Amino acid sequence: MQLTVWNEYHQERSDPRIAAVYPDGIHASVAAGLAEYFGANAGIGTATLDQPEHGLTEEVLAGTDVLFWWAHLRHDRVADEVVERVRRHVLAGMGLVLLHSAINARIAEALLGTSCRMSCWRHGDRELIWTVEPGHEIADGLPNPIELPAGEMYGEPLDVPAPDELIFITGYSGGEVLRSGCGWRRGRGRVFFLAAGHEEYPIYDHPDIRRALGNIARWAAPATPHRVIEARVPNSPEGWWRDAPSVPEPVEGQAR
């Protein structure tokens, strides 16, 4: 399995409080957690906003089974072209994991269609992350609930489409709640939102969160490596499907 961890990587360089938590960047912690989980069974790369093409070239995405995305303050600096490129790869089968405030990233809005906004916040709050589907592979081996001593409260209503699979709901100290682990299918790909991961606390160093990240990667990965295919108009309408390759293509023809 080939995994790529993308990070905005600004606050860790500009804000000493965040640098103290994640000295090598949030992506380094996420990648380390995935390396622990998969060992030799995965290749893990990283990419960041300030790299050329944000580190997400066609080649990088073509070789990625699951892309993790952490972002917070610079959503508007992600190039339109890269947003569209990532979307095209997700529709072709690449998994995408939206971490924490990446739910407000433009790629989230492009794939989900809603504003992806949520209500209210509070920092430093204890988070109890409850599994509501205990038999789901994403919950495998996790305590119920996962307890994080400090995070950031994100509350309902969260403006996302009803998830195809709702795995986690978080409860906060003020009685607020959030659908904090949501899975959707888009095209041939899968998208997962994991709310945990406020930058002020070492949440991606937490063993339960690391296990969750690994489980999510397994869930989000395509059955076979994805392949982007351009739309085409079938030239044999009556029998197009007889000649179709055994694995159908993601985008087969367009209505005239």
Binding segment (CB under 8 A) for a copy of itself, from list 6-14, 35-43, 61-69, 153-161: 153-161
Site mask for a copy of itself (CB under 8 A), range 68-87, x = bound: ----x--------------x
172 class by beta-carbon count within 10 Å (0-12 exposed, 13-18 middle, 19+ buried): buried
Stretch that binds a copy of itself, among 4-12, 17-25, 44-52, 116-124 (CB under 8 A): 116-124
Q: Does residue 141 belong to the site contacting a copy of itself (CB under 8 A)? A: yes
The binder of a copy of itself chosen from 19, 32, 35, 128 (CB under 8 A)? 128
For a copy of itself, the binding residues in 43-62 under the rule CB under 8 A are none
One of 96, 176, 203, 210 touching a copy of itself (CB under 8 A)? 176
Q: Given CA atoms 156, 157, 160, 163 in this order, what sign does their dihedral have?
A: positive
Closest CA to 204 of 34, 73, 44, 47: 34
Of 6-14, 20-28, 46-54, 163-171: span binding a copy of itself (CB under 8 A): 163-171
Residue 190 found at the interface with a copy of itself (CB under 8 A): yes
Report which of 85, 123, 118, 121 is spatially closest to residue 6, judged by C-alpha positions.
Answer: 85
Does position 154 interact with a copy of itself (CB under 8 A)? The reply is: yes
Supply the minimum distance, in Å, between the C-beta of residue 235 and a copy of itself: 11
Give the separation between CA 38 and CA 97, rounded to whole angstroms. Answer: 17
Rule CB under 8 A: choose which of 118, 196, 212, 213 binds a copy of itself.
Answer: 118
Stretch that binds a copy of itself, among 8-16, 37-45, 77-85, 151-159 (CB under 8 A): 151-159
Shortest distance, position 128 Cβ to a copy of itself, whole Å: 4
Dihedral sign, CA of 117, 119, 120, 123? negative
Q: CB of 31: closest distance to a copy of itself in angstroms? A: 24
Is 205 among the residues that bind a copy of itself (CB under 8 A)?
Answer: no
Residue 222 contacts a copy of itself per CB under 8 A: yes
Q: Of the candidates 15, 24, 77, 121, which one interacts with a copy of itself according to CB under 8 A? A: 121
Question: Shortest distance, CB of residue 197 to a copy of itself, whole angstroms?
Answer: 12
What residues have CB less than 8 Å from 216, skipping those under 6 apart?
Answer: 97, 138, 192, 194
By the rule CB under 8 A, 231 interacts with a copy of itself: yes
Alpha carbon distance 86, 101 (integer Å): 18
Residue type at position 56: L
